[in-house]
Amino acid sequence: MARNAELIRQIIEKIGGESNIASVTNCMTRLRITPKNRDLIDFEGLKNIEDVMGVVDADTVQVVVGPGKARKVADEMIETYKFKASPELNIDESNEDWKLNKQSVKSKQHKSKLKQALELIANIFIPLIPAIIAAGIFQGFGSLLGQLITQGTLSGDFWEGTRIIFSLIGTSFLGYFAIYTGINSAKQFGATEALGGMVGAMSIAAPIVEFSTLLGLYDAETPLNSILTTGKGGIIGVILGVYILSRIEKAMRKVVPDVLDLIVTPVVSLLLTAIIMALLVMPVSGFLSDWLVKFLNIFIASNNPIISVLSGYILSAVFLPMVLLGLHHGLIPIYAIQLEQMGGVSLFPVLAMAGAGQVGAAIAIYLKARQTKDERLQKVIAGALPAGFLGIGEPLIYGVTLPLGKPFITAGLGAGFGGAYAMLMGVRATAWGPSGLVALPLMIPSTMIHYFIGLVIAYIGGFVVTSIMIKPEDLTNA
């Protein structure tokens, strides 16, 4: 705790002091701080703090401190300094200082529409990641127990009860993923959170089938081919539906008298949203989702081994640059669509190989650093490698490969071999989250061994390519 207290003190100092912090929150590995005046921030000073692995300048200042610690540091900052525990400032409703609102608006003005859209997606799904991981692990082990029970390897009420409990925990989240997505979407769009959850629930509720049948849009023989059915459009439809809800709700509040707002606004908003969802959003987003799945099948679910190898290699090789550009958040809806419509996520295991390539590259650099007697670099790599094996890549990326430049590229080129293998062998996951060895329980049991082999190939690939292309003088000249 004392070490966290000193870390917090240094972070606050480099951010510009307590008075310059509007709110604090965290994701898996990062402390997210909303500043009042970005001009007061000493970014170089932040990066040089001992326990800080990296700093990302986005809408919030993201300070990478590692898994587990990010949550502890955020909680301690909020408890000790009484900072606001809110990830986003609602400009329309906040009574905060007008300068903070102005700064928030200005910080968004220089961002492209694509960048803003990707950050919006991230803000919707990042809070769900712990539940996604936990549910996926329980689903995976529940499926494994089911196979072992069916095969007769395990028997008895104890194992059957364990399987049921695991399935119960996994289904409690994944079965109602649309509702959680609706709630978090409402937070981002400024709608009432409970109503956003209801929009998500509408998309998976049984009466959708009755309504579809009434309109002649339901295919009883092949329900998945229906123009309108439960789950049609997936989370894309839910996000669009909640956006429409937010627009209707805000418009209603402008015209409905205060005395009637509590009754009229939610009732009318939900009614109009439900009609638009059923007649327009779900069919259209369902068509887009179906098209996307067919398109993905060409590249990431192809029966052609050449296509599988090429797509797996390319995706793994370019993933880390995508992360640096913030484009990886755009993949989250694709993960969800794959999970909903294909029963497993094949894209996530392939992209997870990128972190393994970094590990292999770092080992190669460590050996070259010994040749040049660079003790500082050896110490950094030795401290970051355990996290790298466990799928936490920030220490290696920000502390080793990216500052050196060329190893960041060679790591990706080596990781591609692991991605090619994972794609070729059809590795699939029951959820997504951290990569590396800790992702093994997330894999569908029959593909776990191939995921592990893919990691080993990526380790070796990153090591070999970096060893060949990086010379000891590249480290001393960096």
Q: State pLDDT tens for residues 170-224.
A: 888 877 888 999 999 999 998 999 999 999 999 989 899 999 999 998 888 877 6
Please tell me the distance from the alpha carbon of residue 340 to that of residue 285, in angstroms, as a whole number.
14
Q: What is the pLDDT of residues 44-57, one digit of tens each?
A: 899 888 888 878 87
CA atoms within 13 A on the CB side of 290: 13
Claim to verify: residue 407 and residue 372 sit in the same structural domain: yes
Claim to verify: residue 26 and residue 77 sit in the same structural domain: yes
Any domain includes 31: yes
User: Is the distance from CB of 230 to CB of 203 less than 8 angstroms?
Assistant: yes
User: Is the distance from CB of 32 to CB of 84 less than 8 angstroms?
Assistant: no
The model's confidence at residue 436, banded by pLDDT at 50, 70 and 90, is confident
Claim to verify: residue 153 and residue 32 sit in the same structural domain: no
Claim to verify: residue 189 and residue 271 sit in the same structural domain: yes
Query: What pLDDT is attached to residue 99?
Result: 38
Query: What pLDDT is attached to residue 439?
Result: 85
Catalytic residue (one of 15, 22, 27, 427): 27
Claim to verify: residue 258 and residue 360 sit in the same structural domain: no
Q: Domain containing 30 — which CATH number?
A: 3.30.1360.60
Any domain includes 95: no
For residue 158, pLDDT over 80 is answered with yes
The model's confidence at residue 2, banded by pLDDT at 50, 70 and 90, is low
User: Is the distance from CB of 345 to CB of 300 less than 8 angstroms?
Assistant: no
Of 275, 298, 321, which one is at a domain's C-terminal end?
A: 298
Query: What pLDDT is attached to residue 175?
Result: 79
Phi, psi of 23 (to 5 degrees): -160, 160
Any domain includes 108: no
Of 298, 330, 360, which one is at a domain's C-terminal end?
A: 298
Claim to verify: residue 151 and residue 235 sit in the same structural domain: yes
User: Is the distance from CB of 29 to CB of 392 less than 8 angstroms?
Assistant: yes
**Environment class of residue 419 by beta-carbon count within 10 Å: exposed (0-12), middle (13-18) or buried (19+)?**
buried
> In the beta sheet, which residues pair with residue 31?
26, 63
Query: What pLDDT is attached to residue 314?
Result: 92
Maximum average pLDDT range among 20-34, 359-373, 387-401: 359-373
Number of domains in the chain: 3
Return the higher-pLDDT residue of 66 and 301. 66
Claim to verify: residue 313 and residue 447 sit in the same structural domain: yes
Of 298, 323, 340, which one is at a domain's C-terminal end?
A: 298
Q: What is the pLDDT of residues 316-359, one digit of tens each?
A: 998 888 776 656 666 777 787 777 777 788 889 999 999 999 99
For residue 461, pLDDT over 60 is answered with yes
Claim to verify: residue 291 and residue 324 sit in the same structural domain: no
Note if 180 is an active site residue.
no
Please choose, from the candidates 435, 351, 422, the residue with its C-alpha nearest in 3D space to the C-alpha of residue 387. Answer: 435
Any domain includes 354: yes
Question: Which residue range forms the structural domain that includes residue 65?
Answer: 1-85
Q: pTM score, two decimals?
A: 0.61
Claim to verify: residue 66 and residue 139 sit in the same structural domain: no
Please tell me the distance from the alpha carbon of residue 294 to that of residue 290, in angstroms, as a whole number.
6
Claim to verify: residue 260 and residue 405 sit in the same structural domain: no
Average pLDDT over residues 123-148: 78
Q: What is the pLDDT of residues 243-266, one digit of tens each?
A: 999 999 999 988 988 888 889 999
